[in-house]
Structure 1
Amino acid sequence: MELNIGAIFISNRILQDKEPPTWMYREEPSNEGDSGWRVFSGNEDDEYLDNPDNFKLVSADQLIKIDNEIKVNLLAPYGFSFEKDLQTNEWVIVDGEE
């Protein structure tokens, strides 16, 4: 079943370098078709983050193929952020209301 929430802004560290996603947050969308989700490996420095070529837009289904556990997070409203606990391999709410 497809999750049609809009495009997700994702780091190439995840897409190309195959690093796991460990940090994500949702902000108000910047345009129509944008989900507001921003997903990172956690290994991006400021120089990397400042280069828009280091990011791509993907569908929710593409992201779920990378990390199936991320699916439940994608339904959270704007203002939420999550971090993956590398010890338990579970996503934890960092900001937002449960």
Structure 2
Amino acid sequence: MSETDTPASGDTNQTKNGFLALVSRLVFEEQLPVRFMYKTVPEHLNDTGWRLFTGYEDDSFLEDEITNLLPVALEKLYALDDSLEEKLAYNAGTVWERVPGADWERIYDFRIPTRSVDVSITNDPDRFDPKA
């Protein structure tokens, strides 16, 4: 690991919650290595926020999260690839990538996808709809 890959103060000291990551089914069905991963804000108490991919997923694959991303315990991932344990200790907002034959490299220019939530806010009691 190079100096630039060494965790800076605050990179790994976030409160740890959850024990599951969402992992591309290609990791298990095709036995492909994890080559790209990012950590988003966890969606529930069991979620770590980590999303792991092989790099062979296309847009249509990624759109069907229910079918193509599997919830996997971190311990199973560590057993699959021991280089993941150190990287999965990082905080939300972290992105890692590795090309075949190379070490993990931290990526800073990838925009982590976020779920969009349609919210309507009003202070006008005449427009307020409690059923919405």
TM over 0.5, shorter chain:
yes
Q: TM-score, normalised by structure 1?
A: 0.86
Which residue matches 1:43? 56
Structure 1, residues 49-85: CA drift from partner, whole Å, max 9, x if none? Answer: 1112111101111111221111100110110000013
Q: Distance in 2 between matches of 1:43 and 1:76?
A: 24
The question of 1:8 aligning with 2:21 is answered yes
Q: Distance in 2 between matches of 1:28 and 1:71?
A: 19
Which residue matches 1:19? 32
Greater relative contact order: 1 or 2 (C-alpha under 8 angstroms, separation 6 or more)?
Answer: 1
- Which structure shows the bigger proportion of residues in strand conformation? 1
Which residue matches 1:28? 41
**Structure number with bigger Rg:** 2
Structure 1 residue 6 displacement after superposition? 1.6
Q: TM-score, normalised by structure 2?
A: 0.65
Alpha-carbon RMSD across the aligned residues, in angstroms, is 1.6
| Identity level (%) | 26
Deviation >6 Å, runs of 4+: none
SS state at 2:31 partner: coil
- Which structure shows the bigger proportion of residues in helix conformation? 1
